[in-house]
Chain A
Amino acid sequence: MIVGVTYKRPDYDPIGIMKKGEIHDLRLHVERVETMYVYFIYGTVGEPEILRACKELFVDPITQDFSYTHEGDSLKLITEKNAWLVQVKSKTGVTDAVGESAMKAMALIGIHGVERVESAFSYIIKGKLTESELRTVCEKVLCNPLIHNYRYVRV
């Protein structure tokens, strides 16, 4: 199961606003950066449990929305068009503290059958960036290539 958590409005999204500023520091200009927290949940967990985990753990209902899918590409959770979508995830072997905490928290609210949770971060970047500019943005602003892998698509 893959869960994505987004902000209801761009001005609620502190990381997006900060990343946009950092992209501007590179002298590249984008219109908007939005973020999505992504959780990959492995194990035998049913849809009602996932819904509960979203509502009780992953989402602040005042500022955030969520969506989920059973399988496939997490970037497909993003409905935005005409944008670059980037996903940043820890490399194998790098401790995923967010994933560990999410798994522990699910057990604490009585959701069982979770074998592993991995976390990632997705970005929606609106604006005119070439592919090589986007790569620069990924490596200088969105991730640390030493510990993160990233991938991107144009939609």
Chain B
Amino acid sequence: MPLTTPSSLPSRLGLTLLLMGWWLCLSLGAAAPVFAQGASESQVKAAFLYNFTKFVEWPSGAFTANPDTITLGILEREPLAPALEALQGKEVQGRKLVVRRCRHHEELQKCQIFFASAAEKPRLREIMGALQGLPVLTVTDEVDDFARLGGMINLTRLDDKIRFHIDVNNAAKSGLKISSQLLKLAIRPGG
């Protein structure tokens, strides 16, 4: 039986090493960091929310009650709660982030950020109504008609990546300024 003998090995080995070397050279030349592996959707969305706070300017009166903290209000049954609660204690614009589960509209009205997933959509119209005109950044997750409901930012998943929409008008109505840097990264309306 004519079997391939290891005599052909050096050339194959050489080829393998050559390709490996090529990869090595190329890889060491590249730049700019990225997270090494895939991550859980809820954690990434929470990280997005945290990042948004760096690009939003609240009106000066928004923090009068407690100037050292910034409060993120979520609903009792928020599915992303574990990931959001991990943000507790992080610093935002020189203030400490507090994550609070809220039962009543009055509690939410005292927050500076409100986050809700699509699971709470039946209640959103009513809640957003209660927050109308108040300096509360409203962020939703996978709520397609967030703008109509009065929301400002909506997170959405496209393939395996997270993207977001912004409604500047709703933000302006509440006295919030959203930086143009953030607007540049958002999905354009209609796009």
Do these two chains really belong together in a complex? no
Binding site for B on A (CB under 8 A): none
Please give the residue numbers on chain B whose beta carbons come within 8 Å of chain A beta carbons, in ascending order: none
